[in-house]
A = this chain, B = another copy of it.
Amino acid sequence: MTATAPATRPLTPAARRILEVASELFYTRGINTVGMELVAERASVTKKTIYDRFGSKQELVVAYLRTRDDRWRGYVTDHLERAATPRARVLATFDALHAWMGEENPRGCAMLNAYTELSDPGHPGRAVAEGQKRWLRGLLAEFVAEAGVADPDVLAHPLAMLHEGAVVARGVLGETGAALTARAAAETLMAAHGVTGDVPAAVAPASAAVTAS
Contacts and interface: CB of A to CB of B under 8 A. Distances in A.
Given A33-B32, A192-B191, A168 B164 contact: yes
B189 A169 contact: no
Given A134-B173, A189-B188, A192-B192, A182 B161 contact: yes
A169 B119 CA distance: 17
Given A119-B29, A119-B30, A119-B33, A160 B169 contact: yes
B172 A129 contact: yes
Nearest to A130: B172
A171 B157 CA distance: 14
Interface string A163-175: 1111011011101
Contacts of A119: 28-30, 33, 107
B134 A157 contact: no
A37 interface: no
Q: 6 closest A-B pairs (Cβ-Cβ)?
A: A161-B165, A158-B185, A164-B165, A30-B119, A164-B168, A165-B165
Interface of A: 28-30, 32-33, 107-108, 112-113, 115-117, 119, 129-130, 133-134, 137, 154, 157-158, 160-166, 168-169, 171-173, 175, 178, 181-182, 184-185, 188-189, 191-193
Contacts of A165: 158, 160-165
B117 A117 contact: yes
Contacts of A115: 108, 171-172
A169 B164 CA distance: 9
A116 B173 contact: no
Given A113-B116, A116-B30, A134-B173, A192 B182 contact: no
B192 A188 contact: yes
Given A116-B30, A116-B112, A119-B30, A161 B173 contact: no
Contact of A173 (B137, B166, B181, B185): B137
A202 to B, nearest CB: 25
Given A33-B32, A33-B119, A181 B169 contact: no
